[in-house]
Structures are given as C-alpha cells and as structure tokens.
Amino acid sequence: MRKTPLMLSALALAVSAAAPAMAQSKGDWTIGAGVHQVAPKSDNGSLAGGTLAVDVGNDVKPTITGEYFIADNLGIEVLAALPFKHDINIAGLGRVGSTKHLPPVVSLQYHFNSAGKVSPFIGAGLNYTTFFSESTGGALAGSKLKLDDSFGLAAHVGLDFNISPKAAIRVDARWADIDTDVRLDGAKLGTVNIDPLVYGASYVVRF
C-alpha cells in the first residue's frame, strides 16, 4: 500500500511534464466531497514493554475538502470527515477494543494545471487527530482505554480528471504521522504508531 503515493507522484510528474501549464487563479475556491479509506501501517508497534504487538484496523468514511488559492496554482486545503472507527487487535489475544477519531488536515498544495484533462498536484501540511469513544472487549473487557490526541506532519498527492470547466473527479492519497500514547486504567502502556495512508476519490467543484 505504501507504494500508492509514490506511484501517484510519478504519474503526476509525468503528466505535468507532458502538458503545458495553465494557471489556477488567485482567489479561486474548490469544494470536494468523496469517500476515503484510512489504512494504518501494518506494524503499529508494541505495548507493555514490547510484549503486546498491536494491529489497528482500516475504516472507510465520507470526506469533504475545501481549498482556497492564495496565489496562481498554490492553494491551502482543509480536509474534514465523518469519524473513522478502528478495531484494535493484539497478537494472540484478538480484538481487545476500538476507537473513533477525527483527522483534520491543513495542507499547502501546488497544482500542475495542464491544458489536457488531467491535472496533478502535490501538497504538505499538518494533521491533528483527536481520539474518542474508546471501548474495550475480549481480554481487556471492563478496563478503561484512553488514547491521547496526536499532532504531526502530512503529505498529499493526487490527480484531477477534469469533466467540465468547473468540475473534476479526484483520486488522491495522503500520509499522516499519527502517534498516540495508550493508557489502560490510567497506566501508560506505550505508544502506538498508526501513520496511515488515506486514499480514495471525490467530486471537486471549482468556484
């Protein structure tokens, strides 16, 4: 899965090199609505002194983006979504809990707008993730689970397939640095490294 942003980036650069640039005007807005999957990395670390290997599951939810162009081709984008829910598994114990989270991301993005039907873009920014509605089950049933909020870097790459002068279908992938300290019944167990890929598609309208 981690090849997805690299493949999109390579394709974006190839397209931008092959097609002449077309400026995106300062002051323009775009609004996008879509569906994305949050896929945590495969190795999420271990707790309790390395004795408990953790695995965080995937989830899919609707998303919305808004982007304002502060200069030609250069925009500031905000990502929002419905809360994602993830199962928490421990090797040898199975599912031991779940959590919900909201991962708003603010990115500075450059669009390689072309005269053709495909416009690639790249971006980088900051991600703030808040966790809530933690629950326990299985081997940890009855215990109180708490995950601390996270603040980290984020990267974004994608392609806009123009379907009209004002609309496009967007396919994109993000990476976010999400690390959370885990507490069980008030005792700190360690840190879980989620660091997910977030990928999907959306319908984007330009104003």
Residue 81's nearest CA partner among 124, 121, 128 is: 128
| Residue 139 neighbours by CB under 8 Å, 6+ apart | 90, 93, 94, 96
From the CB of residue 27, how many other CB atoms can be counted at a distance below 10 Å?
A: 11
Q: What are the sequence ranges of the domains in the chain?
A: 3-206
| pLDDT given at position 155 | 98
* Of 119, 146, 145, 86, nearest in space to 206 by CA: 119
Q: Is 126 exposed, middle or buried (0-12, 13-18, 19+ CB in 10 A)?
A: middle
pLDDT in tens, 24-55: 789 999 999 999 999 999 888 888 887 889 99
How many beta carbons lie within 10 A of that of residue 137, not counting itself?
16
- What per-residue confidence (pLDDT) applies to 128? 96
pLDDT confidence of residue 165: 84
Query: Which pLDDT score, from 0 to 100, does residue 104 have?
Result: 94
| pLDDT value of residue 49 | 81
Residue in this structure with the two tokens 């999400």, named with its chain if needed: 178
Tell me what pLDDT residue 115 has: 65
CA–CA separation, 117 and 6 (whole Å): 21
What is the distance, to the nearest Å, from the Cα of residue 39 to the centroid of all Cα atoms in its chain? 9
Q: Are 146 and 160 in contact (CB under 8 A)?
A: no
3-class DSSP state of 7: helix
pLDDT value at residue 158:
96
Say what the pLDDT of residue 42 is: 83
Percent of the chain with pLDDT over 70: 88
Extract the residue ranges of the chain whose pLDDT is less than 70.
1-23, 114-115
Please report the pLDDT score of residue 15 as a whole number: 42
Other Cβ atoms less than 10 A from the Cβ of 78: the count is 14
Tell me which architecture the domain covering 3-206 has in CATH: Beta Barrel (2.40)
Confidence (pLDDT) at 202 = 97
Nearest to 134 by CA among 67, 180, 202: 180
Q: How many CB atoms lie within 10 A of CB 164?
A: 8
Q: From the CB of residue 31, how many other CB atoms can be counted at a distance below 10 Å? A: 14
Give the three-class secondary structure for 36.
strand
The β-bridge partners of 124 are 108, 155
